[in-house]
Structure 1
């Protein structure tokens, strides 16, 4: 990658990390569609998973004392199981369809949260297990499932810090699991390794900046701005996918 492209990629990754931290649903909903401008979809899945391992490590350091461990286990165990299934399927199906699904998912979830900003599941064990299952599977298959996890966590009326901490604890297990599978499937090679020192810095810096901004900005207003951006990125992703040759 040329230096100018690398700088642009790093800047977009930092923005995605900051916005994802403040929005509460992680950076992948922004990072995955943005990274496709620089890499093929399999590489995007691999880079996103490892980037999120670093990102969630940073959030765990910053917010660790706020984790709700009961919710983390109930939501996290099915998420880790089904992210593995989704990640394996990426090697068995045409990635064209995974990219179409990603675009449609971003548009649907962004629009849903814009139209019904207070929408939540009921805070039951059944819904928590279901939310973990769906969010994990989507994370493995299309690279992002944070919106479903966020929708599930919102039912428990957690504080902003507890929401981010608990979500990050779950996401750490999810991303570590899919990283191992993506690497075993050859989605990354040695040529990609030199991006990761930069991504580690971005993960910690973006999380720290996001935490600072949370103290000063109206959360709901900011979420609306981020959701509009997610819908637009979903449209771009879907358009790019549909204009490719169908396999």
Structure 2
């Protein structure tokens, strides 16, 4: 593949992923990773996507900062951080393919139920964030899928779009920073990774900016349905990765 074609494909993918992130506040890695990993070595694609995800989250949080509910988010973050190291041990007892298959099927089924109008409201949200954070942390530490459990819970609670975007973005920023520090310690943040990231940041900014503008045109119902479709797509991608 020529360098020009390579760059054009990367730019298109990052703009699309940035748009989804700006619109729903999650899903950047879901869109970007499958494509970038095919044209960039995986050891470079993974940290590039995390760096760009952090940039997208910082852009979104500037727009949604007034709606962050810190009283709930800190419980989610602490539960997730405590559980994440244990996630690596899950793979000692469960085969990665089995874990991914179960997670993908579960996400798709719950997403479809919510899409069809079924919900299971939880009265004590603050307490419920503990198991949600633990599940998210375990999945992040094992198969790098921290977002869908949180997004499903917020969708189930019918959280308004502004609070949804703010809370899941604040949570994402903390995870991004910790992950990047881990990559730095392990030597994955090479000059090539930073070079690719710098080249792709302008494309990411364009995509996120358009997404943030577009979200203002969506009512609560359309936003919730779009978010659920992105969640379901993440489950489908998980199953495809197993196959």
Same fold per superposition (TM over 0.5): yes
Q: CA deviation at 1:64?
A: 0.9
What's 2:72 paired with? 71
Q: Give the length in aligned residue pairs.
A: 234
What's 1:114 paired with? 112
Change beyond 3 A, Cα 1:63–1:124: closer
What's 2:240 paired with? 236
Q: CA deviation at 1:180?
A: 0.7
Secondary structure, counterpart of 2:38 in structure 1: coil
Moved more, 149-158 or 52-61: 149-158
Which 5+ residue runs of structure 1 have no aligned equivalent? Answer: 240-247
Bigger proportion of residues as helix: 2
Change beyond 3 A, Cα 1:7–1:100: farther
Q: CA deviation at 1:200?
A: 2.9
What's 1:244 paired with? none
Question: Conserved in 1, the CA contact under 8 Å of 2:148 and 2:234?
Answer: no
Question: Conserved in 1, the CA contact under 8 Å of 2:152 and 2:231?
Answer: no
Change beyond 3 A, Cα 1:149–1:233: same
What is the rounded CA distance, in whole Å, between the counterparts of 1:100 and 1:43 in structure 2?
26
Which 5+ residue runs of structure 2 have no aligned equivalent? Answer: none
Moved more, 23-32 or 48-57: 23-32
Deviation digits for residues 171-213 of structure 1 (CA, Å, limit 9, x no counterpart)? 1111101111122123332212111123433443333211221
What's 2:53 paired with? 52
What's 1:20 paired with? 21
What is the rounded CA distance, in whole Å, between the counterparts of 1:204 and 1:66 in structure 2?
22
| Pair 1:158-2:163 in alignment | no
What is the rounded CA distance, in whole Å, between the counterparts of 1:224 and 1:162 in structure 2?
16
Change beyond 3 A, Cα 1:99–1:15: farther
Question: Conserved in 2, the CA contact under 8 Å of 1:121 and 1:127?
Answer: no
Question: Conserved in 2, the CA contact under 8 Å of 1:78 and 1:129?
Answer: yes
Moved more, 20-29 or 7-16: 20-29
Moved more, 67-76 or 207-216: 207-216
Deviation digits for residues 44-78 of structure 1 (CA, Å, limit 9, x no counterpart)? 43223222211111111111111111111111122
1:95-110 matches, within 5 Å, as: 98=96, 101-102=99-100, 105-106=103-104, 108-110=106-108
